[in-house]
Every structure is written in structure tokens, then in C-alpha cells.
Structure 1
């Protein structure tokens, strides 16, 4: 049986320099995977900013989180589904201290494609992976009650975990059924009607470039001008761009990333607080403590103590 329940915790460098996720989804012979993730109450970060080639259908099992998909922001609650198209930058943060559990089903183009370029591939599969097929980003409870996608996705999860003989064929059949049900609402979302795709392609590329720069340089001194220069923008225009893309100012975004790296060090090492402060780019330990308390509601040392007690 496959293990799919994952605690959201440090996994080294989860993304490459251009923020493409490094995690392999399935194998070359079976290009899909299922991940069930449980987010501890202490973690503010639910899903780190990343993108991948696979189509992703994510449904919330428990709790609620604020998702950022492309240029769209949405609150996702239990019983709702997020439809994330291939190569779309996405992330999520928690809304409250309630426990969060979500399940993500990721499917590569090769899993759904045919050797022959038949009608199914031309009319449905190609448009879907070329971002010419539009479905709602968020399938709310009212729409989910009509489409009934979650029971199908739960069946895919169970088949994936149990690996009974022939499960691969059943998973493929269920995924085609999911797409068939989505067709019922596709007409309401024409190709030009989804923000953050055709009109926001360049913005998405610049956002990925900004993320990559922060990931590679967060431990150094970084100014607003340094960040703006990476995407050839003036500082003032870059501030507006970051607010639109991430709902944060550039420096708040940088500090949040630094804090997330500091949390990884607190959880996985015995390094002193002052040392972690310096390693994550903060000018002094007081500033680090101030920013950490603003994000997690406690001092770094208190966070580490609480973590060890819970373990």
C-alpha cells in the first residue's frame, strides 16, 4: 500500500531555481500521483509557492485556507475543489488555527493522452493542457453538489493507496469521468474569461523569476531596488506588481520567506536563535524575533519548545 499521508514539514529544497516543483509525480510508466497532506496548527504556510507540468485537482478535507492561483485569490473550505491548470503558480496560507487536511490528485498529459491523435485527445485533452479549456478555479460546495467530483477523487485516492490488480485502469477511467463532469460547466468559462492565464502569462513568468531570486538570495542583504531590478521594473511599479501577485509588499514577501526558512531550521536543527537569524538574512536577532512573533504569535524559542513538546 502506498503511503500518501504527509505532514507539511521541511523537505530540503522543494523547488528548482525557477520555482518548478522538484517532487516527482508518479513514474514514467504511470504519470500521476495522489498526496494527502495534514498541516499542523503551528504552520502558517499551507502550500509553498510552486508550479508543475501536471494538472492538479485539490480538495479540502478539513479546515480552510486562502489560496493564490495565478492572479486569483480565493478562500477554500472543506468540501470544495481547486482546479489548478498545468504550469500555474500557486500557494496557500492558513486562515485560522484549525487543523487542515487536503488531498491533491496530479495528472500529467502523458497519463491521459492517446498514442493516436483521436477525437478525445483533440477535443478535450489537448485544450486542457494547452490552457485552452476553461473550468472554474474554485468549485464551491453548491457546484460540487451538482458535479459530485469529490467522491470520484476519493475513489482515485483509495485506488492509488490500495494498488489492487488493475487499479491503474480504474484510476484513468475515474479521471476521464471527472473531466466529463467538468464539461458541464466549461461553457460558462470561455478561453478569454479566466484571469491569470492568457492575459497574465507574462506576469506569471515575472512572479516565478522574483520567487527564484528570493529563494537563492534570502540569506543576503536584499533591497527593494535589488528585487525590482531582477524583473526590470522601477521600485514603485514593482511594489504594485507584488501587491497584485502575492498580496504583500516586496519586503513583507521577503521577510515571510525568510521566516519560513527559519522555521525549517528551528524544526530540523539545534542551531542557536542568533545563528538562525543571521543565516536567514535578518540584520539582528531582535528584528528576527519581532518578525517571527508577528507571523507565529510567539518567539522563536517558544516555537521550538512547543514543537518538541508536541512531538
Structure 2
């Protein structure tokens, strides 16, 4: 069965891009070289990025910069997202050196329905339906779509230039991140302490504790618990282990603490979660890192069509969302054009009135 997962690699155009639609699964902290754009198609998703947690609603967008650690967690059942990964080297033509820029932004209740956000959603829907093509004209349309997407994206979320010292600091944080995450991934089943981790990284516990909160958005033990819950949910759905065995095999001291953590995170007991997930997803491979949706998924296709067909024309409310959307000069330019159009309309109305009076006079003379 074909799924919503596509890759494009055009070295001659410096374009390397991946786009897919998937079920938001268990908590997984990761980072990558590509710029990421995530759009929530359905549900509610908690996303931790750069030390801050964001609650994303349906139709929300978030841009995640290259090598910034992030993790998502579904806060409602059946949450679905569309994602684009774009090699940042594609941006060198516009932002150079690209390493000196930071790309980040997230919609909220004020910007979710702005014109740029609507256009971004429309272009993301357009692109995923055009990635599997070999026609020269369609390739041109696709690259035009990528340019349009980036134009709207950077109008909504202006890239920020940083100095070299901040770039070096970012690399240092990445090195710490790699060691910490690798250690936790390998040892989450065992008892791990912050002190043990600090010895591994060469930093004191106070610094490491502050680093966790500032860069991952969670304290160390909350992060460790989420990793354990991630693996526990996979075992609940892919093995016949008892709840007791799942708890013990994933680092929980006892069933009580496992049940408490599970219910606090997912709003139900491990047993309830297992029964519901297995009933709704028969035959699915739960060990897949990501579960991509099939091309014939009715709800997704309806949503993609909605984004493309229900794109509204530019309304006046979009002008006044704030200067984040339109610069002062652009606003003044639009207002100037509106004023000129109003004067032209007034002059035309006066001319029509004069013509009408002359025609009436001619009519009287003829009689």
C-alpha cells in the first residue's frame, strides 16, 4: 500500500527535501540537519523545542531550525501531522551564510488564520500532491511552490541573524545533546541518576539540570520518564507481556508508579490504552519509527483538498494582525493604493453623473 512519504533529491538545484504525513506517536527526542516545517492536520500535539513546550492545535504550524532538539507527543488520540524536511543549503541563495541565521516560528490564536498561514497550508497540501512527478512542467510548478511556501513562511516568521559566538555555542550544546540522549537511550531500563550523567558529560549536576530545562524543556527525570513511557507503549501494542512485565522491563520500579505516570500522560491506564490502540489499528506495525498514512486515507485527503479549495482571498483583517505579518511600508503602500482607487471611483461617479444630466437635456430638446 502506497503511503504519504516522498523524497526529492535534485543536486543540480541544491534541492533535497522530504515530505510525509504520519500519526504522532510516542515521545521521541531527536534533531537533524534539515529545517523542519510541521503542520497539525488533526488533534492536539505537545511539542518541546529549544527548551519550550508548545501546545499545537489543528491547523497550527511550527518551524524548527537545523540541529535544534525537539520532541512531539500526541495530546489527543489519532493526532496527525504533515512534515517537510528541507536541506538548509537550499536557502544559501537568499540567506548567506545560512549558518548565521536562525529559522523558527509557531502560529497561535492570533496568527493561525492569517493570510500567510493559510497560504503555507495551501502550498504544503499542493506540494505533497506534486512530489511524485517526472514531467518538466510539473517540476517547474513544484519548485515554484517551494519558493512560494518559503516566501510566506519567512514573511510570517522572519529569520534572525546571529553572531559567530552564538553559532559556536549552538555547536557545543549539540555535542552535549548527542552524549546525553545516546546515554539515556541505551540505559533507560536501568536506574540512572543525574549525578551519573554529569560524570559522563564532564559537567556538574547543577549545570546539567539547568541545561536540561533550558534546551529540552523538561527536567532530567521527566525526560527519562517520557523515554520509558515511549518504549512501554510500544511493548503494550507489539508484545503479549503483562502490565507488570512491561513496567519492569522499561525502568519503572513498580506497577503503581507505572500506572500513575501513564495515566498522567495519556489520561488512561496501560490496559485501557492497549485495548483501544489494538482495536483501532489492527495489523499495524507498532515498531515502526514513524507510521505514515496511506494515500487513500479519506480524512487526510479531505483535509488536503480543504486547504487548497477553501483558501480565502486577502481580507482587511490580515493587515492588522501586527507588523509581524506586514511591514509598515507595505501597509502604507496598500492604503495608498486604496485611497487612489477611492478617488478614481469618486471621479468616475462624477463623470457618469454629468453625462446623465447631458443625456436628460438632450432628451428634453428632442421632445
TM-score by length of 2: 0.63
Hey, what does 1:142 align to over in structure 2?
Answer: 111
Question: Which stretches of structure 1, 4 residues or longer, exceed 4 Å deviation after superposition?
Answer: 24-30, 196-201
Please show how residues 146-185 of structure 1 align to structure 2 within 5 Å.
146-147=115-116, 148-160=119-131, 163=133, 165-166=135-136, 167-184=138-155
| Paired residues of 1:83 and 1:139 also in contact (CA < 8 A) | no
Q: Secondary structure at the match of 1:33?
A: strand
Report how many aligned residue pairs link the two structures: 272
Indicate yes or no: 2:225 matched with 1:275: no
| Paired residues of 1:59 and 1:102 also in contact (CA < 8 A) | yes
Deviation at 1:57, TM superposition (A): 1.6
- Structure 2 portions without partners, runs of 5+: 282-367
Indicate the RMSD between aligned Cα atoms, in angstroms: 3.2
- Structure 1 portions without partners, runs of 5+: 6-23, 114-120
| Paired residues of 1:25 and 1:106 also in contact (CA < 8 A) | no
Deviation at 1:165, TM superposition (A): 2.9
Hey, what does 1:32 align to over in structure 2?
Answer: 17
| Paired residues of 1:60 and 1:103 also in contact (CA < 8 A) | yes
Hey, what does 1:67 align to over in structure 2?
Answer: 47
Please show how residues 1-311 of structure 1 align to structure 2 within 5 Å.
3-4=3-4, 26=8, 31-39=16-24, 45=26, 48-95=28-75, 97=76, 99-109=78-88, 112=90, 121-124=92-95, 126-128=96-98, 130=99, 132-140=100-108, 142=111, 145-147=114-116, 148-160=119-131, 163=133, 165-166=135-136, 167-184=138-155, 189-192=159-162, 200-311=170-281
TM-score by length of 1: 0.73
Q: Deviations over 1:31-86 (max 9, x none)?
A: 322111234xxx6x4x6211122222222223332322223433333333211222
The 1-side partners of 2:85 and 2:159 are apart by 22
Deviation at 1:254, TM superposition (A): 0.9
